[in-house]
Each structure stands twice: as C-alpha cells, then as structure tokens.
Amino acid sequence: MTLKVNFECSKREKVVKNLELKVPLNDYEGCINELEKMSARFECELDQTDTYFRVSSGRLKLRQMADCSELIGYHRANDQSSRLSNYQIMPVSNPSILKQILKETLGVRGLVVKKRYLWLLDNTRIHLDFVKDLGQFIELETVMQHHSIQTATNEHNQIKRRLKICSITPVGESYIDLLIDGFSR
C-alpha cells in the first residue's frame, strides 16, 4: 500500500488562499494509478481528528495529529464547484488546554475523524480522505500564494481532467456539515 512517513506541522502562523474542490472517491486504486502516472509525489499518511467550534463567521477547527496540532480558521463558500478558500493556520503546542478553553467559551459543533493520504503535484495538494461515518473523498487544494488566479485555475482544471473527476458531482460542504446534515451517497 503506502509508506507512512512523519508529517511536520508548520512552526509558524500562515495565511493562505486556495482553490479547492471535493468529490466522492469511487475508485481508490484507479486514482492512485493515475496519480502515479501524473508523477504526483506521495507525501504522507495522516490520522487527523478535527474538532469544530461554534463561531459566528467561517469555520474554526482544532486539528490534532500524532506529532502536532494546529488551529485552523477559514472562510469558504459551500459551492458545488471549485471555490476559493481563505484560511489561517497557527501551530498549537498544548492542544488539550486550548480545546478545553474553546469548548467552554465557544462550544463544540462536532468532530471529524479521518485518515488522509497526502499527495503533491506542482502547487496542488491532493488529499485522499477516508472519513469516519462519511466514506471516501478526493480533495484538491491548489495553493495560490505566489500565483495568479488564472494560473492556479489552469493547474486545478488540468488535474481534475487527468484524475477524471470533472463529471463527478462535487461536494460543496465541509465534512462537519456533511456529518451534521446526514450525508449519504
């Protein structure tokens, strides 16, 4: 299958803009074969637990992994197409205390548990996600930090075509929204 390697969280805060798309993953092995043909690089396997908190605008989650944790705040429309996502990431050195503080002050919206296989191709992160109680998904995140929206869109669309996911109905909601709304395929 895949080799498990260590993933290192960012050591500093980041503000980033992505072009994102999420679709159900129907053929995991076929997707892996296509990624290898495209010369995408397998980066790592991650076990992630995301705790979402109640906020008035956007989304706020504490992502906990084996070796590191991050607080992630983001704004993204729930569109069934490729869409822009603006997010901020902050490394967290003591996630249990932060989780308790946020739980007591904001309240917990829900929990998303997933195994993520992270692949990289040019400026795009390709996530093959196995989400507890939801199933399998592929998620593209084309980073726009040093590129124009047109350059990012061209790369994003080319990867969609190569992975043969253009005809699959995209999922506009985040995993937490799907869990709360009772998503079924």
Residue 185: the pLDDT is 58
Domain count, the chain: 1
* Residues whose CB is less than 8 angstroms from the CB of residue 5 and which lie 6 or more positions away in sequence, other chains included: 43, 44, 45
Which domain covers residue 119, as residue numbers? 14-181
Strand partners, 64: 49, 69
Residue 13: the pLDDT is 63
What is the reported pTM? Answer: 0.88
Residue 141: the pLDDT is 95
Residue entry with tokens 């939801």: 134
- 174 domain residue, yes or no: yes
Three-state secondary-structure class, residue 51: strand
- 46 domain residue, yes or no: yes
Q: Are 104 and 45 in contact (CB under 8 A)?
A: no
Strand partners, 70: 63, 91
| CATH number of the structural domain spanning residue 156 | 2.40.320.10
Residue 28: the pLDDT is 94
- 53 domain residue, yes or no: yes
- 1 domain residue, yes or no: no
- 78 domain residue, yes or no: yes
- 101 domain residue, yes or no: yes
Rounded CA Rg of the chain: 16
The tens-digit pLDDT sequence of the chain (185 residues) is 333 444 556 666 677 889 999 999 999 999 999 999 999 999 999 999 999 999 999 999 999 999 999 999 998 878 778 888 888 999 999 999 999 999 999 999 999 999 999 999 999 999 999 999 999 999 999 998 778 889 999 999 999 999 999 889 999 999 999 999 887 65
- 9 domain residue, yes or no: no
Residue 5: the pLDDT is 41
Q: Are 46 and 10 in contact (CB under 8 A)?
A: no
Residue 11: the pLDDT is 61
Residue 127: the pLDDT is 98
- 5 domain residue, yes or no: no
